[in-house]
Structure 1
Amino acid sequence: MASDAAADNDETSRRAKYLIDGRRVMVSDLLEAGLIQPGAALRFARNRIGTTHCATVTDKGRIRLEPDGEEFRSPSRAAMVAAGMRAVDGWRAWTVVGQDRLLDAVRQELLDRTMVGVPRQHEHATRQHVHDRLRQARRRAEDADPELLSVRELLALWGATDRGDQVGQIEADLANHGLVTSPSFRAVTLDAVITLTTPPDDAAGSETAEAPDDGHVQVAENDEGDDDLNVRLTVGNLSPLCGVESVGPNSTLAEAITKLSLNDFSQLAVLSGPRNVRGAVTWRSIALALQQKPDASVADAINPRVEVVSYDRDLFETLPALQQRDFVFVLDETKAIKGIVTTADVAHRYGEMATPFFQVGELDQTLRWILTRAFDIGEVRSVCGKHVTSFERLTMGDYQRVLENKEMWQTLGWPLDRSAFIARLEEIRSIRNKVMHFHSDPVPEDAVDKLRNFTNLLRHYRDLA
């Protein structure tokens, strides 16, 4: 009996690793857990048009469509091909015949079993907390009371402060619980408010369901266990989507001028409603209107040639419009005008990204310059290893190994505390890794300050060398 219990614990730990590793549950996992059997029949009923698609589960966890026999790892891909649709959440489309429940419900049972089997004092208690929170969010979404939170608060559930290396795990956990964020948490600012919800119902069974061209809602199409490669910087990453200052087409120029002055703006949106942009007024268009007509109104100063883009549009694709017009208005997931991005915003963001990048570069070159003048390559190799054939091959970790060496530190003759210096260098190494991975979120200001202060210190001792 004891051996059986141990085997059960081992099995629970092994299944828990699915969640801990942060990958998407696959149909093969359901087979392995005994929740469905090879040969299980699946049905995708599209009641609105009176059509039903059938499939079976193979012994390898693939979905075989009937009658053509085409196989897919992904329930969503199988449903999309069967129905000829561009976007379907297959987990909520396929019903397991005999169990009379969706694949999504079977997946949820697997997640619940796994978490119940992990002791609360287990080292993966954080995973249990995430599971519990996402289960709660799923219930609220199904009760038409979806949870609202900022992107920053969402990331904090996983102990993350930015959309770095944990994004794949976060997306997998959301997908495993049948959740999406609206708008996409990747494509907005950290302080933007998002909704934890389920994919639109019509994505599971409507004859008209297609993937939106602007991708306003994340539909779980990539459920094959592979993380999406998504390193884009989007328009929404620069705009908080909290609304734009505007005037109506019948407003007075006095109102427009007052709002421009109070907010130190260069332009205002002219709106007839949240989704109806008539154009923009700028200082230039106002001056031209008044030159031609002293009693001009906003209607006389409207520049109708404005660019409107979705929040998740690739920023690089928008740069030509920004260069030509100096600004673009931004649509949120409901296609309402909720933001604006200007050339100044772009310059500021690229400054935020470039500053730490160049600081890391200067820091790296300065450390190398100092070491080349203090030691020969043989001394460095004795500490760092045979992979160091020249000073150009040194990495940040190699710098740390050299400076951690007591004798080599004493050779430098710096009147500094070695432990404190090395501790900060370790922080710098972590910051450097984030910078070089080019995440869409700017490096925190305190990290920039650490880079700047460390670089200034190195400059001082470089000049003394």
Structure 2
Amino acid sequence: MTGTPAFVEPQEFTVDKLESGEVGGLNDFLALVKKGTPWRISTEHLIRLNGNSRRGKIVNQDINEKLKNRGLVCKPAVDNADYYGHVFISDPRDELPEPETVASLPISAFRGDWPTLISCGPEMSAKKTQTFMISDDLSQIPVLSQDKKTLHGVVTWRSIAQYRGNLDDAKAKDVMGPRSHVASSSDDFLDLVDTIIAQEFVLYRAPDGCVDGIVTASDLAQAFNGTAGIYIQLQELESRIRILLDKSPIPQLRGYLEPRRRDMSKFRGATDMMFGEYLAALEDKNIWNATGIELDQGVCINLLKKVRDVRNGVMHFSSGPDDETDLESSNKHAVTRALRILRATPLS
């Protein structure tokens, strides 16, 4: 008699294991994860094992690629996990308890590659605070107690402009604006959007009570601007590829599925193919000719390979500052170029 499958109890990756040197890096840790042996690890430790201190788009991509290479899953995804929470790393065939992070996108997922939140004490000179704002391109600096647990106020360009005294003699406490809402690191980002827009930023606390992170209206603008347009382009591009591929017989397309997927029941053609499988199929001269793309096959496929890299990299918001490399920028331009080619090809 078959009963309800029991959850597999994950092993705990502790601080002692991290500091002992027993596990040399992320690949060493991932080698420990096997079917029936999932692990629970703090998001911070996972990032540190990869040789990083904070998340960012490139760091997220690197970790996700290492997980993919070993056929492992991370829940919640490292991109979206609470920086101060935990994730489960497992073989996809294992059943696990639901992750403790309930927010669909915790505010701390926006934490970038800055080593610490830049803040000041109430007695710091206003001129010094102003200098940090200019040198580090900041629009606000929180004024915190020495233990970082009490927020006295926030120095902003507006609060400085509203000060009527002599800035040479003023301290941060004199030129700061009022205290603002401080979220918890695990609070859902979507619930805080209105607050971020209204007060132009939101600070958040780590589980130990320290004010340790900030998300600004500028961060939101960069995140949305960097992803919304490319999502729309990729959606159109993929839809066009599927229509063109479906000009070939289903058995011919099935031959380009990954080996583990070739026995898929009810295979419906290109709609059931992955992007890498599109590329493999388009390498076939007969399939290429059937698409009706009357341009150089090699140039077009090389463009689509760059599109694949972009597609793999923009499925989540960047959680750090603007860290797009020249290569990534070039690849995004390839999406526009590839889309022009597909738009020039009749779909019927």
* Mapping of residues 87-166 of structure 1, within 5 Å: 129-130=31-32, 150=48, 152-153=50-51, 160-161=64-65
Change (3 A) 1:444 1:230: farther
Kindly state the Cα deviation for residue 237 of structure 1 after the two structures are TM-superposed: 1.8
Q: 1:187 aligns with which of 73, 79, 82?
A: 82
Change (3 A) 1:384 1:265: same
Q: 2:176 aligns with which of 263, 285, 302?
A: 302
Report the 3-state secondary structure (helix = DSSP H, G, I; strand = E; otherwise coil) of the residue aligned with 1:279.
Answer: strand
Q: Which residue number in structure 2 is paired with residue 265 of structure 1? A: 138
Report the 3-state secondary structure (helix = DSSP H, G, I; strand = E; otherwise coil) of the residue aligned with 1:356.
Answer: helix
Q: 2:127 aligns with which of 248, 254, 267?
A: 254
Distance 1:412 1:184 in 2: 37
Q: 1:331 aligns with which of 186, 192, 205?
A: 205
Q: Which residue number in structure 2 is paired with residue 238 of structure 1? A: 110
TM-score (ref. length: structure 2)? 0.60
Q: Which residue number in structure 2 is paired with residue 357 of structure 1? A: 231
Cα-to-partner distance string for 1:258-304 (whole Å, 9 max, x where unaligned): 22222222111111222121011111111212269996543332222
Q: Which residue number in structure 2 is paired with residue 28 of structure 1? A: none
Q: Does structure 1 residue 289 correspond to structure 2 residue 289? A: no
Distance 2:268 2:30 in 1: 42
Q: Does structure 1 residue 405 correspond to structure 2 residue 303? A: no
Kindly state the Cα deviation for residue 393 of structure 1 after the two structures are TM-superposed: 10
Aligned alpha-carbon RMSD (Å): 5.5
- Which amino acid letter does the alignment assign opposite residue 404 of structure 1? D
Kindly state the Cα deviation for residue 321 of structure 1 after the two structures are TM-superposed: 1.3
Q: Which residue number in structure 1 is paired with residue 260 of structure 2? A: none
Report the 3-state secondary structure (helix = DSSP H, G, I; strand = E; otherwise coil) of the residue aligned with 2:163.
Answer: helix
Q: Does structure 1 residue 453 correspond to structure 2 residue 334? A: yes
* Mapping of residues 313-324 of structure 1, within 5 Å: 313-324=187-198
TM-score (ref. length: structure 1)? 0.47
Report the 3-state secondary structure (helix = DSSP H, G, I; strand = E; otherwise coil) of the residue aligned with 1:237.
Answer: helix
Distance 1:281 1:268 in 2: 5
Mapped contact 1:237–1:440 kept (Cα < 8 A): no
In structure 1, list runs of 5 or more residues that go unmatched: 1-58, 63-72, 77-88, 93-124, 139-145, 173-182, 189-215
Q: Which residue number in structure 2 is paired with residue 277 of structure 1? A: 151
Q: Does structure 1 residue 225 correspond to structure 2 residue 96? A: yes
Mapped contact 1:242–1:338 kept (Cα < 8 A): no
Cα-to-partner distance string for 1:314-352 (whole Å, 9 max, x where unaligned): 211211211111112232232212222111112212233
Mapped contact 1:244–1:338 kept (Cα < 8 A): yes
Report the 3-state secondary structure (helix = DSSP H, G, I; strand = E; otherwise coil) of the residue aligned with 1:312.
Answer: coil
Q: How many residues align?
A: 293
Identify which of structures 1 and 2 has the higher relative contact order when contacts are C-alpha pairs closer than 8 Å and 6+ apart.
2
Distance 2:71 2:178 in 1: 39
Mapped contact 2:126–2:171 kept (Cα < 8 A): yes
Distance 1:316 1:362 in 2: 26
Distance 1:147 1:400 in 2: 37
Change (3 A) 1:231 1:166: farther
**Percent of aligned positions with the same letter in both sequences?**
20
Kindly state the Cα deviation for residue 412 of structure 1 after the two structures are TM-superposed: 3.9
- Which amino acid letter does the alignment assign opposite residue 104 of structure 2? R
Change (3 A) 1:355 1:366: same
Kindly state the Cα deviation for residue 244 of structure 1 after the two structures are TM-superposed: 2.5
Change (3 A) 1:322 1:151: farther
Report the 3-state secondary structure (helix = DSSP H, G, I; strand = E; otherwise coil) of the residue aligned with 1:247.
Answer: coil
In structure 2, list runs of 5 or more residues that go unmatched: 13-26, 53-58, 89-93, 255-266
